[in-house]
Amino acid sequence: MLNWLRQLAGALGLPGARPRAIPEALWQSTLQRTPFLARLPAPDRQALRLLVGYFLRSKEFSGANGLQVTDAMAVDIAAQACLPVLRLGLGWYDDFTGIVVHPGAMLARRQSIDPAGVVHHYQEALLGEAMQGGPVTLSWQDVAASGASAEQGHNVVIHEFVHKIDMRDGAADGCPPLPSRAAQARWRAVMQPAYDEFCERVAMAERFGAEPPWLDAYGATAPAEFFAVACEAYFVNRERFTQDFAALTSLFDQFFKTNQAFG
């Protein structure tokens, strides 16, 4: 464990850099608000706290629409963002600095072109967004509900930061960067059937009134969204997620916890 902590000290590639100190009371209040973090084994909580200190040293938080980002808010976000890279390292987040926090859902301008070639402009309400090579935006209203929403497998912070992991090798496609084509093939051999089956269950629920799946139906919109939605549930409600996606739990364990199958 000590060797692991020493390795984390160089996770940002900044020799001699020190993590930002997190006061004990502030850290404990974060754990109280996010029970899925409090349930981590003690060594993992220790490592997470150190990683959060480095994360806070390297990122810049800003509030939108008059929102003031407090230390408690920043630590809450950082702790949840660091959970997926607890074993992978902060290098997976080195393509951006800014984290923009909105009071609630934000409206994004969108456009689409229909089959007749007509351009349609519209607004889409977003709880968060991860931009390729750019900042992450989050709805504080939804971040603040992370403790309660874990029962349903929801977590907006993990969702957006998993998109960042997915984007490391280009556009998000539901497969994170892996070292070889063989590793990518092994990944897709597990993910694709799970995604196809999930889409079928969502379609049956929406069209014929079948029982809806527990996992957020938004995951059926694209492989990248399925990966992000699945990771939300995997990290915050592993036991319930595994009931429906045991093969994905094993796959995610290999990637996020040991990385053994992809080396």
In tens, the pLDDT along 157-183 reads: 999 999 999 999 988 999 999 999 999
Q: Which fold has domain 173-263?
A: Collagenase (Catalytic Domain) (3.40.390)
| pLDDT score, position 127 | 81
| pLDDT score, position 13 | 45
CA distance 128 to 113: 24
Q: Are β-strands 98-102 and 119-126 bridged in parallel, bridged antiparallel, or unpaired?
A: unpaired
Helix boundaries (H) for 83-217: 140-144, 146-149, 156-166, 181-208
Give the whole-number percent of the chain exceeding pLDDT 90.
78
Among 221, 226, 248, smallest CA distance to 166 is for: 226
Contact 64, 21 (CB under 8 A): no
Contact 160, 129 (CB under 8 A): yes
Kindly list the domain boundaries of the chain, sorted by start residue: 173-263
| pLDDT score, position 1 | 39
pLDDT at 263 over 60: no
- Report the predicted TM-score, pTM, of the whole model to 2 decimal places: 0.89
| pLDDT score, position 124 | 59
Give 18's pLDDT tier (boundaries 50, 70, 90). confident
Query: Exposed, middle or buried by CB within 10 Å (0-12, 13-18, 19+), for 171?
Result: exposed
Lowest mean pLDDT among 62-76, 121-135, 196-210, 223-237: 121-135
Q: Is 146 helix (H, G, I), strand (E, B) or coil?
A: helix
Query: Quick one: average pLDDT of 24-30?
Result: 97
pLDDT at 37 over 80: yes
Q: Which residues pair with 250 in a beta bridge?
A: none
Give 231's pLDDT tier (boundaries 50, 70, 90). very high
| pLDDT score, position 248 | 98
Give 206's pLDDT tier (boundaries 50, 70, 90). very high
Give 2's pLDDT tier (boundaries 50, 70, 90). very low
Phi then psi for 39, rounded to 5 degrees?
-80, -5
- Which tokens sit at 47? 């490592």
Query: Quick one: average pLDDT of 235-256?
Result: 97
Rounded to 10°, the helix 181-208/223-236 angle is 90
**Which pLDDT tens digit goes with each residue over 95-128?**
999 999 999 877 666 556 657 666 654 555 678 8
CA distance 187 to 193: 11
Mean pLDDT of the chain: 89
